[in-house]
Structure 1
Amino acid sequence: MVMACRGDGRTRDVLLAMLLAGGAGFAAGMWPGVRQFDVFGAVLLVGVHVPLVVLRRWPGAALTALVVAALPYHLMQYQHHALVPAEVVALFGYAVLGRRVRIVLTVVGALLGTCVVGMAMRAGGSSVREQIAVVEAVVAIAIAVQVWRSHRARVAAITERAERAERTREEEARRRVAEERLRIARDLHDLLAHSITVIGVQAGAAAHLLRGERPLDRDELSDALTSIAATCREARTELRGTLQVLRSTDVGSPAETLPGLDGIADLVRAARTAGLVVTLDGEDAGPLPPEVGVAAYRIVQEALTNVVKHAGASRVAVGLTRADGALVVRVADDGRGPSGGTPEGFGVLGMIERARSVGGTLDAAPGDGAGFVVTAVLPLSVPSARTLG
């Protein structure tokens, strides 16, 4: 198929060169210029048209050969107009296929123009006007070719910019979708993992009371069930607020629907119902950007969930302090700590992502003596592009 296409193209080039040469020979014989058209002129005329056969493959060499043959033709005062079609085709072809087009076309146009004008002035008379007309035609074609090439380059550049912009928009859309999916997964993990863990511990305590050998304490059982109901209500309220933000509804702003620093006390109370001794220092850390408050709440929530589920601890200390323009969140327990030095699952990764979402850092490592310590440093100046949740 490729060889057939190349063969067809070469055949068309040969036929075009023969057609232009025949027309030029006819014009030079019928309307001779200053000098009568003879055999030498016919040889030069054919020599001008032969390079057109290879113009598509070697545009630079073809244009050079054409100029070399055309210059003596014009210098010997043969019919100048006869070569105009071949010269126009060569100039246009080089403009489409060649390199350094502007410089080459300018030089070629200047050579042809100088040659024709010089010979016309030597001939004198009305021939001057005719040859100037030829020069104008060649120069006009060269200018037209340059305008066309510039327009094509400009259109190609505009098309490329549009395609690049479209690719950028698609990549940005995919990136935002991925970030939104990650945020939704993180929100649901933080909310449901904590609530389910606390409810599980409270339900286990209630079952233990029912199965115990000592007489049933109805008040103690009522307290356990009341704690379960309260945890369910809190989880339902927080889930509703999270879904409102994810759906971009008009029901409240993110600062109104999502928890913040003021909700950490509720987390501490819920952890206490699970049998832990929890202390909270720095609950009133002052006003914070909503993003920082949400991140601090989620980090404490996940840290306490990990303590209840994995640590086997009895005491937990939660601290909130301001230092060097940042909020420092610290959760330390006295449990056995994770077996490999860091807990398994997505909890620590989620806390790290929370801290990074507001430009902060988080460190989770075993304590000096026993247990595990989570320390987050959250800057109080958060870029406006950060996302709540």
Structure 2
Amino acid sequence: MELPVAVRGTASGAAARRALVERLLGPAVPRERLRTDALFALAMAVSSLVLVVLVRDNGHPPGVLGWLLLIAVHVTVVWRRRAPLRVLTVMIAFLLPYHLLDANHTAPVAATMAGLFTVASRSRPRVTLLVGVGLMGILLGLKFREGLAEGAQSLRISGWIVSFLLLGVYVRIHRQYVGSVVERAERAERTREEEARRRVAEERLRVARDLHDLLAHSITLVGVQTSVAAHVLAADPDRLDRAAVAKALDDVAETCRSARGELRATLQVLRSGTKDETRGPLPGLDGLPDLAESARTAGARVELTVAECEAPAAVGAAAYRIVQEALTNVVRHAGAGSTVRVSVRARDAALCVRVADDGSGGGAGDREDGRAPGFGLLGMRERARTVGGTLDAGPRPGGGFLVSAVLPLVPLAPGGPR
């Protein structure tokens, strides 16, 4: 039962993947993203200032209007990831008058390429293609009208535009790939976590079922046997039947020894961590006579019929537990001196188990006696389902109770009913 460790492992793995996505795709928190974009825009503005100072042969130094337009271009960079296409449109609206002023043409290049890259990395391919074709069409058209030399220079600029657009498309594809990988990994971890929870639930159910079958049967027999001893002691103290008292106490001691042995074997199986339910303290069909004898010592009249058949260990164990629980309920609820008929036989590749009693208390099932309902019928049905069988239980028309189970004699296929 390593579920807490598995859950912690799942959480740590998910946190690591989220950190990886943030490193690759940028911060996910809007405030952090805005701060990052503002710092990026400031860096672009500083680089533009450096280019204005260093590059003097590509346009005139910006005037007041030029500086205002250049600053406005860099301010829009702050919102480039929120609305890439609109930001690029506003950039172009500021850059057209800026270039018409023949101001330093190199200064806004970094901010422009950042806008193009953002559009390509965050828009659909069709939008990216239209933006690239439209922008280069406008650029080439204007430059070639000024002459071949200007047109040749515009071709070089177009190469940069194409490069940044392709880089943005690559980043977009990579982002989608990383997102799909992370999603698949998280889905796989959720599946593993659910599987771990399911296995823990099944293991808890198996432990509860084993302990119920063992303890309920033994405690019921001990209670009946001690009641018999108490009755013998109180019935006629002057004529005490010491032999009857000794036999009742011997039966109690024997029941306690048997319960202790089964409990020890059950705990050994649980400690070993085996997943094979056929191992452990579950006797097969050969243990049914002992169950019948235990019920007889508790006052029930048991008629047992067991046909010879080769049953798989799991099927025999399920049949044993079903008969054990049915006899326990007969002793507990059906009343003293009740007759119970137990029949186990093979028919049509299935083991048919039938336990019928004539008791007035309702018989072999969980009785409505004013107390909280038990888990007997539920446990018997679960025992039948573990080997792919079915179980029906209910009052008989003529009185008493009937438990009937059909357990297939073929092994349960992996992934079958649980």
**Fold equivalence (TM over 0.5):** yes
Is 1:349 paired with 2:378?
yes
How many Å separate the matches in 2 of 1:324 and 1:3?
Answer: 69
Whether 1:309 aligns to 2:332 is: yes
Partner of 2:356: 332
Counterpart check, 1:105 vs 2:128: yes
Q: Which amino acid aligns with 1:333?
A: D
Secondary structure of the equivalent of 2:272? coil
Where does residue 379 of structure 1 map in the other structure? 408
Shift of 1:351: 1.7
Q: Per-residue CA shift, 1:256-306, capped at 9, x if unaligned?
A: 64222221221111111111111112342x122222222211111111111
Counterpart of 1:366?
395
**Which SS does the other structure have where 2:399 is aligned?**
coil
- Preserved contact between residue 220 and residue 331 of structure 2 (Cα < 8 Å): yes
CA distance in structure 2 between the aligned counterparts of 1:13 and 1:244, rounded to whole angstroms: 65
Deviates more, 1:128-137 or 1:315-324: 128-137
2:58 equivalent among 26, 31, 52: 31
- 1:157 corresponding residue in structure 2: 180
Percent identical = 48
Q: Say if 1:282 and 1:321, in contact at 8 Å, map to a contact too.
A: yes
- 5+ residue gaps, structure 1, are none
Q: Which deviates more, 344-353 or 154-163?
A: 154-163
CA separation in 1, counterparts of 2:62 and 2:231? 121
Q: Counterpart amino acid of 1:269?
A: E
Match of 1:292, SS?
A: helix
Per the normalisation by structure 1, the TM-score is: 0.78
Contact 1:261 1:293 in 2 (8 A): yes
- Inter-partner Cα distance in structure 2 for 1:53 and 1:10: 5
**Counterpart residue number, 2:24:** none
Q: 1:76 to 1:118 in 2, by over 3 A?
A: farther
- Output aligned runs, 1:149-188, within 5 Å: 149-188=172-211
Query: Which of residues 263, 283, 289 in structure 1 aligns to 2:287?
Result: 263
- Cross-structure match for 2:16: none
- For residue 247 of structure 1, give the secondary structure of its aligned residue in structure 2: helix
Q: Distance in 2 between matches of 1:306 and 1:231?
A: 17
Q: Within 2, Cα distance between the matches of 1:188 and 1:354?
A: 13
Query: Is the CA contact 1:75–1:116 (under 8 Å) kept in the aligned structure 2?
Result: no
How many angstroms does 1:12 deviate by?
6.3
> How many Å separate the matches in 2 of 1:108 and 1:20?
25
Distance 1:153 1:210, change over 3 A: same
CA distance in 2, matches of 1:274, 1:104: 86
TM-score, length-scaled by structure 2: 0.73
Q: 1:318 is aligned with what amino acid?
A: V
Q: Which one of the candidate residues 222, 225, 250 is aligned to 1:199? A: 222
What is the Cα deviation at residue 51 of structure 1?
A: 5.0
Q: Secondary structure at the match of 1:321?
A: strand
Shift of 1:27: 8.7
Q: Report the Cα offset of residue 56 of structure 1.
A: 4.7
- Residue deviations 1:21-80 (CA, integer Å, cap 9, x gap): 7678779974149xx999999999788667546535433322234456768989999986
**2:88 aligns with one of 55, 58, 63:** 63
Superposed CA deviations along residues 141-162 of structure 1, whole A, max 9, x for unmatched, are: 1122222233233333333333
> Which residue matches 1:92?
117
Correspondence for 1:229 among 248, 253, 273: 253
CA contact (8 A) 1:190 1:298 kept: yes
Q: Deviations over 1:196-253 (max 9, x none)?
A: 2112222332343444438555554554344333323322222222122211268x99
Distance 1:6 1:256, change over 3 A: closer
Structure 2 counterpart SS, 1:293: helix
CA contact (8 A) 2:59 2:102 kept: no
Alpha-carbon contact 1:271-1:308 (below 8 Å) kept: yes
Mapped to 2, the partners of 1:6 and 1:167 lie a distance apart of: 29
Partner letter of residue 364 of structure 1?
Answer: A
Q: Which sits farther off after the overlay, 328-337 or 224-233? A: 224-233
One-letter amino acid matched to 1:280: L
Shift of the 386–229 alpha-carbon distance from structure 1 to 2, 3 Å rule, reads farther
Contact 1:321 1:327 in 2 (8 A): yes
Give matches, 1:286-325, under 5 Å.
Answer: 286-312=309-335, 314-325=338-349
Deviations 1:123-179 (A, max 9, x none): 665555533321221111112222223323333333333333333333332332222
Q: Deviations over 1:80-112 (max 9, x none)?
A: 65553232121233356x4x4322222212223
Q: CA deviation at 1:371?
A: 0.9
- Cα RMSD of the aligned pairs, angstroms, is 4.3
Which amino acid in 2 is paired with 1:320?
V
SS of residue matched to 1:104? helix
Larger displacement relative to structure 2 (261-270 or 275-284): 275-284
The more displaced of 59-68 and 130-139 is: 59-68
Partner Cα distance (1:7, 1:71) in 2: 27
